[in-house]
Amino acid sequence: MKAALLKESHENYWLKEGYLLALQFAQGWVCFRITGWEPSNVRPYSLGAVAALSNLAAWDEIIDASARRYLEPPEEKWIDHAFFGVSKPKAKIYFQYPTRQDRWNLINVQRTITGDVGYIDGEMSPYDGPFALKSQVFTVHELYPAYNCYNPLNDAMDNVMLNFDVMRYSYALIKNRDLIRDILTLKRPGRLHTVAGIDPEPARAPDWLTDLVGDDLLNYSKSIIEEGS
């Protein structure tokens, strides 16, 4: 509890209008200028009961009753930015992003969803906050994560719940090469973020986004980040 109080609030990580954002996908970096934002949340999101020493039978894509995903922007014009907290404190939440791609493996074999590697529990990211930076996720249309849960206790967990705090951004796509270079070389203040992680590689940008950006700019962004000028 004392350690949690020392954490910075996740709200300090929200982007404001005018901020620059660069997201790294497997194909390259895509740069955006935030043009607007709207806060939302999902609380509680119930993963249901989890039996002692058991995990969920299926990965959960954080959906409503009609299987619409809360963490996937329904339109291409938005980016979602989310953090979450966990109840119960010992519930271990595992992460796939995109779905079926296990993350936080640490060693060169896939981490299990019953083990001590690669998870967030309710002590790391408490249900009432402050949420762990590790829980941060950026999503775009057609790209979304999935979660599973393991109960390491010998007592059943009656209801494991997640508390998502979500910020939705509208954006303008940046195609100016000079500006892209300045963002990626940190000459202009902006937020650089690797989508999903680096093992085995960042998430692939959906086709609609790569079509919008174009292969030339994606390759240019990779050369900038590698050569630094």
Partner 1 sequence: MDKRALYSALGTITAAGVSFGSAVPANMRRYIYKIKTANQFAGPNQLQIGHRTGVGVPVVLDRIEHATQYEMWNDPDELEEDSAPIYIIPAGATPYGITNNGNCLCYILYEDSE
- Out of 66, 110, 154, 229, the only residue in the binding site for partner 1 (CB under 8 A) is 154
Q: Identify how many contiguous H helices and E strands the chain contains and give both numbers.
A: 4, 8
Ordered DSSP codes for 33-70: EEEEEEEEEEEEEEEEEE-TT-B-SS-B--B-TT--BT
Strand partners, 69: 63
- Total number of residues that touch partner 1 (CB under 8 A): 14
**Token pair belonging to 173:** 């796509």
Q: Closer CB to partner 1, residue 150 or residue 169?
A: 150
| Site pattern 109..148 for partner 1 (x: CB under 8 A) | -------------xx---x---------------------
Query: 39-42 — which CB contacts under 8 Å span 24+ positions?
Result: 39/14, 39/165, 39/166, 39/167, 39/168, 40/166, 40/167, 40/168, 41/163, 41/164, 41/165, 41/166, 42/70, 42/162, 42/163, 42/164, 42/166
Q: Closer CB to partner 1, residue 1 or residue 67?
A: 1
Q: Closer CB to partner 1, residue 71 or residue 149?
A: 149
Positions 34 through 63 that interact with partner 1 (CB under 8 A): 52-53
| Residue 3 binds partner 1, judged by CB under 8 A | no
| Residue 85 binds partner 1, judged by CB under 8 A | no
- Out of 81, 88, 92, 111, the only residue in the binding site for partner 1 (CB under 8 A) is 88
Q: Closer CB to partner 1, residue 90 or residue 191?
A: 90
Q: Please give the residue ranges that form the binding site for partner 1 (CB under 8 A).
A: 1, 52-53, 87-90, 122-123, 127, 152-155
